[in-house]
Structure 1
């Protein structure tokens, strides 16, 4: 397992601590990893002999990672992305699974769903959805690899739909966090979740006409919205942002509250906003538009309430 090397506060290397203690003391403290998990700070060495590659990094770093991997992986390797986010380029948005496939020349499925990491680590029941394109045999291999009595995985032939659900739900969670910070109550948050789901579906189908309506009723869809809007770091940081009246930046809150983890919802909201602005869709997506304008300081957190009226 490739681990981005970090020096902990006591001077020890994170990869060395993981290998000595079987525990990621920074990002998943208190959870023992399997004895077969070996942390490797050398990316090229970590992937050299792999037949199946699992990508789980902040989406902002993926282009650079893919460039480093060109020519370094097996030609027959298969990939799956658990990454929430997308790249916005001059020619339009590019999903992370597409980036991986195009840069590395390999098939890439996606896995998304209503599953918070610490609950999975505690072996509490969770579900997930694999999105695949074309070859179901490849998807079945990923399902077999991930499936477990407390982690049930299903597969749907809709890479873009599954991936966009995992990406866009973080924007909705930011909105839900604003509502919590404003103490507007559960009724308002339910309305935010409903409108968020509607905008997720509309945005996805405008970008990719092949997206299936049924995908939004899988674990990656409505179930993940519920989970992420009730818990998760995007909602948590957005609540703190609203409680401070927008006077503290998300960068400050991220550094203070997430112990080095990255907040995906704010950057995704910006990327979505860029797509909406470029295509003249801002008025069609009031929730997505307002979330970015609050995050960027153009509007106060209280503006989120106007999106449900």
Structure 2
């Protein structure tokens, strides 16, 4: 006898590298999970390509034959209609406008998960939609996940008993510290920009390892005063990914970040240098920039036309003792 319990429905907001990767993983996994409907809706930012709507092109030419019930649509409110699980994979600078569009169209018992991150994505989503929000973080490279290479993914969830993404997203550890997972997931992108500067300068792996180590210590120091989180992996992002790649090109070409973003990312957005601006504004407002020389140097290189070689200035900070005290909460 068929069960009368309604099935969970998934909606993915975003169709870039991560949105497409999520669609592939989730689209495959829902067919294996009896509690989920096989129909996965994906919101796509509509644009015209060669006189045709992007959604029409994707739906007719790039549908995965192994998962025929993934539907792309340009109406975000329609995409989230009836969804119990909402996966948010769009750059944080666009999130508020999208949330305003879907506000009032989500189920009251829906839950969301975000993979982005000083006001964090989860805070914005919860504040606007008033639904529980978890955070998914890597470090993961989207195209490697799409190729089904082994990786680990961390989910931050304030109430793990309500978390039902494990089988859906094929993830690994779960932490109760949502803001910590998200916050350090954003900070690692700044460190990756620094690693890219080192690659652009051609200074080798010893120097790069030193910058990553200092970056990790600054991440830890800042996280200790904002969150419970004490550890995040930054290695993958510093050796791969768009933040490192564009930072290397920034040094070699002398072109500004926003121009390289347009030339190299095919419409995608770079998070590292944007986050560097937000973090610097925060630590500068707290009067503690001297405690974060690497983050400060990366900001000045990106925004104040400092030489990439200035990344080494003032890096002899003593991290053995923490003298910051309590900093302003997010």
Please report the TM-score for the alignment, with normalisation by the length of structure 1. 0.85
Is structure 2 residue 160 aligned with structure 1 residue 145?
Answer: no
Q: Deviation at 1:38?
A: 1.0
1:253 and 1:179, CA in 2 relative to 1: closer, same or farther beyond 3 A?
same
Q: Deviation at 1:17?
A: 1.3
| CA–CA distance in structure 1, aligned partners of residues 169 and 51 of structure 2 | 35
In structure 1, the residue matched to 2:236 is 227
Residues 140, 151 of structure 2: 8 Å contact kept: yes
Structure 1 residues without counterparts, runs of 5 or longer: 24-30, 86-92
Q: How does 1:1-309 map to 2 (within 5 A)?
A: 1-8=42-49, 10-22=50-62, 34-83=67-116, 85=117, 93-133=118-158, 135-139=159-163, 141-147=164-170, 152-208=171-227, 211-213=228-230, 216=231, 221-222=232-233, 225-244=234-253, 247-306=254-313, 308-309=315-316
Q: Which has the higher helix share?
A: 1
Residues 192, 308 of structure 1: 8 Å contact kept: no
Q: Deviation at 1:115?
A: 1.5
Kindly report the root-mean-square deviation, in angstroms, between the aligned alpha carbons of the 2 structures: 1.5
| CA–CA distance in structure 1, aligned partners of residues 109 and 179 of structure 2 | 23
Q: Deviation at 1:33?
A: 7.6
| CA–CA distance in structure 1, aligned partners of residues 58 and 216 of structure 2 | 38
Residue-by-residue CA offset, 1:210-247 (whole Å, 9 max, x unaligned): x132xx1xxxx12xx11111111110000011112xx3
Higher RCO structure, 1 or 2 (CA under 8 Å, sep 6+): 1
Residues 143, 154 of structure 1: 8 Å contact kept: no
| CA–CA distance in structure 1, aligned partners of residues 226 and 175 of structure 2 | 19
Work out the number of aligned pairs and report it. Answer: 275
Residues 146, 153 of structure 1: 8 Å contact kept: no
Residue-by-residue CA offset, 1:96-147 (whole Å, 9 max, x unaligned): 10111111110000000121111111111111001011x21222x1112111
Residues 294, 312 of structure 2: 8 Å contact kept: no
Residues 293, 315 of structure 2: 8 Å contact kept: no
Question: Which secondary structure state, in structure 2, belongs to the residue aligned with residue 38 of structure 1?
Answer: strand
1:164 and 1:105, CA in 2 relative to 1: closer, same or farther beyond 3 A?
same
1:306 and 1:299, CA in 2 relative to 1: closer, same or farther beyond 3 A?
same
| CA–CA distance in structure 2, aligned partners of residues 264 and 170 of structure 1 | 7
Residues 22, 33 of structure 1: 8 Å contact kept: no
Question: Which secondary structure state, in structure 2, belongs to the residue aligned with residue 153 of structure 1?
Answer: coil
Task: Choose 1 or 2 for highest CA Rg.
Answer: 2
| CA–CA distance in structure 2, aligned partners of residues 237 and 306 of structure 1 | 22
Structure 2 residues without counterparts, runs of 5 or longer: 1-41, 317-330
